[in-house]
Amino acid sequence: MHVITGLGVGGAETMLAALAEAEAGAGTPPVVVSLTPGGPIAERLAGSGVPVFDLGMARGRPGLRGMTKMIGLIRRFRPAVVQSWMYHANLVATAALSLSGRRARTTHYWGIRCSDMDLDAYGRGFRLVVQAGARLSRWPDAVTCNSEAGIAVHEQLGYRPRQFVLIDNGIDTNRFKPDRQARVEVRNEHGVALDRPVFAVAARVDPMKDYPVLLSALEQLPDFTAIVMGEGTEALPSLPNLIRIGRSNDVPRLFAAADLIVSSSAYGEGFSNAIAEGMACGLPAVATNVGDAGRIIGKTGAVVPPRDPGALADAIEGILRAPNLAVRGAAARERIVGEFALDRAVARFRQLHRDGV
């Protein structure tokens, strides 16, 4: 049984969906429980034959009715393993499993997906949830984490689990791959010349993604175009060299139109799916030094300090004007295929759930 805060589009949700679909394909579909209702990933899972339930909770506000339903689902399905994802789901699953009377017969793994979150940016309630996680972190049998940075940060926050287990995110390299035809089509659709340097950004509008720094860097790059996609990007300020897509279900096709993937995050990233997905599409990466960005990119791109638009602009220009751009792009894809492919992550989770730590 997987328990997650919500099933909107995000790194944790995408990884859970890929894992659940792989398990369903092997004839052992899991049960997925979302604290909050709805979301594109919920529809995707249901279409793949994975049972999906929601607790009807409001985001950030767990209620007694939802907790009672969670307890009932545990008693009904009697899972051998509960894998929870993200802070709120970790706590709800912990409480429900304890109250269900099945804790002694069920292995419980927490999941942590971020690194150095700016807790002040998300209110007192969120801070209390993170602090409660630290106090209860020895409850689960282990805590899975998708980044080395995430492990280090949570140790500093006082998390003392029985064991941390590192499982990198996995990228579907059959879906995220170079596509020359899409490159031409997307550029034509948006009136971008085939020889104009373009970089892509895939991130919702959120303080951690630091769009103000990205837009400031873009203003220093009048000869380049940025394609931004993700919830809220359609409402970003208008710039002559900015294409604002909003939320999209066609990310690989949009990536195909670009020459570079960029991440401007200020904090909080663990393992950035956006960076790795762009690289799988044959794009070298420029990213701020947040989470495991440097470990993902290796020597195929550039890492710069966060909150520094000048450094970000210089790195973008440096790579896009370099004569070896195609070579870097091929190396970026090769790195993802070899180190961070989806089948590796799925196999690691399935091994953990079958054999334990």
Q: Which two tokens stand for residue 206?
A: 């959120």
**195 found inside a domain:** yes
- Give the Cα separation of 273 and 10 in Å (integer): 9
- Structurally, the chain folds into a number of domains equal to 2
Q: Quick one: 160 and 186 in the same domain? A: no
Q: In terms of residue numbers, what domain contains 95? A: 2-170+342-355
Question: Which residue from 273, 312, 349 is spatially nearest to 14, judged by alpha carbons?
Answer: 273
Which DSSP category does 264 fall into?
Answer: -
Same-domain check for residues 214 and 95 = no
At residue 308, the 3 state secondary structure works out as coil
In this structure, the answer to whether residues 166 and 215 fall within a common structural domain is no
Tell me, yes or no, whether 249 and 204 share the same domain: yes
- 287 within some domain: yes
Q: Are 143 and 164 in contact (CB under 8 A)?
A: yes
175 lies in a domain?
no
Q: Tokens 């495991």 appear where?
A: 292
**pLDDT confidence of residue 120:** 78
Identify whether residues 50 and 88 lie together within a single domain. yes
| Tens of each residue's pLDDT in the chain, 357 residues | 999 999 988 889 989 999 999 899 888 889 999 999 999 999 999 999 999 999 999 876 778 999 999 999 999 999 999 999 999 999 999 999 999 999 999 999 999 998 888 877 778 888 999 999 999 999 999 999 999 999 999 999 999 999 999 999 999 999 999 999 999 999 999 999 999 999 999 999 999 999 999 999 999 999 999 999 999 999 999 999 999 999 998 999 999 999 999 999 999 999 999 999 999 999 999 999 999 999 999 999 999 999 999 999 999 999 999 999 999 999 999 999 999 999 999 999 999 999 998
User: 142 with 234, same domain?
Assistant: no
Q: State the pTM of this model.
A: 0.90
Is 261 in the same domain as 127?
Answer: no
CA distances for 18 relative to 31, 224, 350, angstroms: 14, 34, 12
The answer to whether residues 258 and 349 belong to one domain is no
Angle, vertex CA 25, rays to CA 338 and CA 22, nearest 5: 35
Maximum Cα–Cα distance across the chain: 63
Question: Both 102 and 131 in a single domain?
Answer: yes
Chain centroid to CA 231: how far? Answer: 14
What pLDDT, on the 0 to 100 scale, is given for residue 60? 65
Instruction: Please tell me the predicted confidence (pLDDT) of residue 121.
Output: 77
CB 200 within 8 A of CB 262: yes
- Decide: 294 and 303 in contact? Cβ < 8 Å: yes
Query: CB neighbours of 150 closer than 8 A, spacing ≥ 6?
Result: 112, 113, 114, 115, 270, 271, 291, 292
Domain co-membership, 325 together with 185: yes
- Same domain? For 108 and 25 the reply is yes
pLDDT value of position 11 = 83
Whether 281 is in a domain gets the answer: yes
**Which SS3 state, helix, strand or coil, does residue 45 take?**
helix
Kindly give the residue spans of alpha helices, DSSP state H, lying in 222-307: 251-256, 273-280, 293-297
Nearest to 260 by CA among 210, 201, 303: 201
Residue 264 phi, psi dihedral angles, 5° rounding: -110, 20
| CATH classification of the domain holding 246 | 3.40.50.2000
Pair 233, 150 in one domain: no
Strand partners, 334: none
